[in-house]
Structure formats: C-alpha cells, structure tokens
Amino acid sequence: MSIAGWAPGEGPRDKLLERGAQALSDAELLAVLLHTGYRDCSSLDMARNLLIEFVGLSGVMQAAQASLLACRGVGPGKYAQLQAAQELARRQALQTISDSDVLSSPSETRRFLQYHLGAHNREVFSCLFLDSQHRVLRCEDLFFGTLDGAAVYPREVAVRALQYSAAAVIFAHNHPSGVAEPSSADRRITERLCSALALLDIRVLDHIIIGRGREFSFAEEGLL
C-alpha cells in the first residue's frame, strides 16, 4: 500500500505535515521515504521490518546495496530514494559548516562528518582543508582501507594542503566497527601528521574518529 492510499489523517505523511518531521518515529520517517510497500505489507510495516533486519535506522542507511535489494519490496527505486535522502543531508550539513567558522559550530562539523563517513563499511580517511578564518575550502577523502584500517601518508596530506592553500586542517576517519575510541595506530599517525604540517605552518585543529552515532575528538581529549 502506498502512503497516498492511507485514510486522511492516519498516515505518517499526514502526521509529518500536521506536526512536523520531528514528531515521527524512525519507522514513520522511513515509511515516508519508501512511499509504498507491497501486497499485505504497508510502507510502515516494511519500514519496521527493515529496522529490525538492520538493527536500527543507522544500519538501514549504512547497508550495502546488495543487502537492501535482497529485502522483499526494496527495488532499485527505493534504494535510490534512500541514498538521495542521505546525500541531501550530507550536502546540507557541508553547506552549513562551509558558511561559517568551523570552530564556532563543532556540533555541525561532527554532524556533517557522521553523514559523510558514517555510512562507509570500510575505513576512509578524510580531511577538511580550512582557510585562515577556519572556513572550509574543501573536504576530500584521501585514503581508503579495509574494515581494519587505512594507510595514511603525511606527504600526500601536505601536498593537498599546499595545493588548496590551507591554513589549517581537520582530519577525520571512520571506524566501521562502530567503536570511536582511537587505536595506537591512530595516535601514531596523528602525531606524524601534526609534525609534518607544523613544518609548513599549517595547524591541525582536530582529528575526529567517527563511530556508530558517536565521535572521538583528539582536540577535546588533549591529544593534539
């Protein structure tokens, strides 16, 4: 059944229009995105099934294409809708931090990094290159790895920073395991990066590790 087929006032779309998106549960929001279910299974029932199958909303949005398409009722169209919603959220979050000093909005910066890195099922090392006013010049994914880690090369980071005339940087990478605590390797590479960029008078403002719904900040923990 499609959401359009619900009786007036009883569906999640009507609830959203009347009370705002924040009033909807995860299942109801997901149902609005899915729009239709299949025979004997409404879009809301389908949303609930997906939340159970992937252990919550984060799991649904981070699920691999093949895993989602294997679920009954989820075709390429629905998968595309979910990906588009996630990318719109990521771009909106990037625009928010690009228009201001990132140090004045740490929560917005972390929100963007969750959107940007949280859905990856392998480790990705990213860098926010900033100007002298700490505004974002560019966000770039520099290194890609496996479930366990990614090789990071300070020389390549320095080359990119000079290319963009960056005055400061914020590093970020995800832990596909969902645990945001830094490893000994994370600590070592952060020290090497700080040392390399200090020679170029480029400040490292933070290194943020993205876990499942949580983050670890080297700056806040006094590790920079």
Orientation angle between helical segments 76-98 and 26-34, nearest 10 degrees? 120
**pLDDT range class, residue 146, cuts 50, 70, 90:** low
Average pLDDT over the chain reads 89
DSSP state of 106: H
CA distances to 22, 73, 113, 175 from 120, rounded to whole Å, are 26, 24, 11, 9
Q: Which own/partner pairs from 200-204 qualify as long-range (CB within 8 Å, at least 24 positions apart)?
A: 200/158, 200/161, 200/162, 202/158, 202/161, 202/166, 202/167, 202/168, 202/169, 203/167, 203/168, 203/169, 204/168, 204/169, 204/170, 204/171
Residue extents of the structural domains in the chain? 3-74, 101-217
Give the pairing of strands 124-130 and 136-144: antiparallel
Please tell me the distance from the alpha carbon of residue 70 to that of residue 89, in angstroms, as a whole number: 25
pLDDT at 196 exceeding the cut of 70: yes
Whole-model pTM: value is 0.78
Percent of the chain with pLDDT over 70: 94
For the chain, how are helix, strand and coil distributed in percent, rounded to 5?
Answer: 50, 15, 35
Per-residue pLDDT tens digits for 29-58? 999 999 888 888 888 999 999 999 998 888
pLDDT at 67 exceeding the cut of 60: yes
- CATH classification number, 101-217, choose in 3.40.140.10, 3.30.420.10, 2.60.40.10, 3.30.413.10: 3.40.140.10
Q: Which tokens sit at 71? A: 């679920």
